């Protein structure tokens, strides 16, 4: 099934609700998908930009709109999606095309999240069809119109289990005219965390802090006139670690986790940054390798074993032979809230059942 309009989608969902027919919601096939449901509902035909206002820095588009198309359009106006959505095609071995709806449904956010916030922080409004076939709208075209219960934030990261997006309203931001990176080769995660803690506690506006392959990276973005000042202050502050200045750091590869493309299970672990070095020690003891992003708040692990034995927030992004649910079990109180929301928006349980259930 591939509806071409919101009305057609609502009719399909209402019928599936009445018959209690479970649906696998599919976008471009480049995010975590549900292998447990046979009947697929594709959003590929619900595509296209509704409105783009560069002066107001507001974008309204349908969920099936290809992400590269959006990025190209914004770049032509000197703007971008500030949360830097990752492209996980290489990681997942997918030939699909990332879509805007998939980005929002997964709350997909890249290295700039630590400075600009996550996808949901730039989401101003949504239109969606819930599990009964009702068309709902929440939010507005500008931040001041977002009042009451903000369902937009609830839909972001729900992976299609609460409703199916038909339109999203996103805030855009100007592209940074210049960027530079400080690289610290040959260090471990503990030293990297010390670098991140020091740099992120300054007013020098670090927009990326990652540790990959034994090298820590700090990214600075902004106007040429003030970028040199911020860079020099950080160089002086971290001089004992002999940082190297580079304008050719692999931020796109870090964003897309390209260093872990290929086979084997891949886990996405959220943690307190101060816990990251100890978690990496345990992960390597299981026989794999890891990297850090978000200043240590995000750990990527490729290898055997199950990190949930010692970290609660571990998501299995690529199975690679691993078994078990993709998402971690919820704490009892959170699980009760989650179940209540699911019953409210999807009482028949037809939207991606089993995907986020542990």
Q: Rounded to whole angstroms, how far apart are CA atoms 189 and 53?
A: 43
Find the helix or strand (DSSP H, E) in which 118 lies: none
Mean pLDDT of 101-114: 94
Mean pLDDT of 109-115: 94
Q: State yes or no: pLDDT of 101 exceeds 60.
A: yes
Give me the percent of the chain exceeding a pLDDT of 90. Answer: 71
168: closest CA among 270, 85, 256, 55? 85
All domains in the chain, ordered by first residue: 6-174+339-345 (3.30.465.10), 178-255 (3.30.70.260), 258-318 (3.30.70)
Give residue 5's region: left, alpha or beta (phi > 0; psi -120 to 50): beta
Q: State yes or no: pLDDT of 38 exceeds 80.
A: no
Computed over every residue of the chain, the mean pLDDT equals: 90
- The pLDDT of residue 34: 60
Q: State yes or no: pLDDT of 107 exceeds 60.
A: yes
| pLDDT range class, residue 149, cuts 50, 70, 90 | low
- The pLDDT of residue 220: 97
250-287 pLDDT, tens digit per residue, is 999 999 999 999 889 999 999 999 999 999 999 999 99
- The pLDDT of residue 144: 46
- The pLDDT of residue 62: 94
Mean pLDDT of 110-123: 94
CA angle, corner 326, sides to 321 and 136, nearest 5?
Answer: 145
């Amino acid at each position: 099934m591939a509806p071409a309009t919101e009305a057609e989608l609502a009719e399909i969902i209402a019928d599936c609700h009445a018959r209690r027919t479970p649906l696998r919601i599919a976008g471009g096939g480049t995010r975590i998908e549900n292998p447990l449901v046979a009947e697929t509902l594709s959003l590929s035909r619900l595509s296209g930009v509704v409105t783009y206002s560069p002066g107001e820095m507001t974008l309204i588009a349908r969920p099936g709109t290809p992400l590269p198309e959006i990025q190209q359009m914004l770049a032509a106006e000197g703007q971008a999606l500030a949360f830097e959505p990752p492209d996980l095609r290489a990681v997942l071995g997918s030939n699909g095309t990332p879509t805007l709806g998939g980005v929002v449904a997964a709350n997909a956010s890249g290295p700039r999240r630590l400075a600009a916030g996550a996808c949901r922080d730039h989401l101003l409004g949504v239109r969606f069809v819930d599990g009964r076939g009702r068309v709902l709208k929440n939010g507005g075209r500008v931040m001041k119109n977002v009042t009451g219960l903000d369902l937009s934030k609830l839909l972001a990261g729900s992976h299609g289990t609460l409703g199916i997006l038909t339109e999203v309203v996103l805030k855009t931001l100007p592209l940074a005219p210049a960027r530079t990176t400080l690289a610290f080769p040959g260090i471990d995660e503990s030293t990297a965390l010390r670098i991140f803690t020091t740099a992120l506690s300054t007013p020098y506006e670090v927009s990326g802090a990652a540790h990959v392959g034994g090298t820590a990276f700090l990214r600075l973005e902004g106007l040429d006139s003030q970028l040199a000042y911020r860079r020099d202050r950080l160089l002086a502050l971290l001089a004992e670690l002999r940082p190297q200045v580079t304008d050719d750091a692999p931020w796109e590869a870090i964003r897309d986790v390209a260093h872990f493309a290929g086979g084997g299970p891949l886990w996405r672990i959220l943690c307190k940054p101060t816990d990251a070095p100890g978690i990496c020690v345990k992960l390597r003891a299981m026989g794999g390798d890891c990297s850090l992003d978000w200043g240590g708040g995000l750990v990527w692990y490729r290898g055997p074993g199950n990190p949930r034995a010692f970290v609660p927030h571990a998501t299995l992004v690529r199975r690679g032979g691993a078994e078990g649910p993709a998402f971690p079990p919820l704490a009892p109180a959170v699980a009760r809230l989650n179940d209540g929301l699911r019953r409210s928006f999807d009482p028949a349980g037809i939207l991606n059942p089993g995907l986020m259930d542990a």
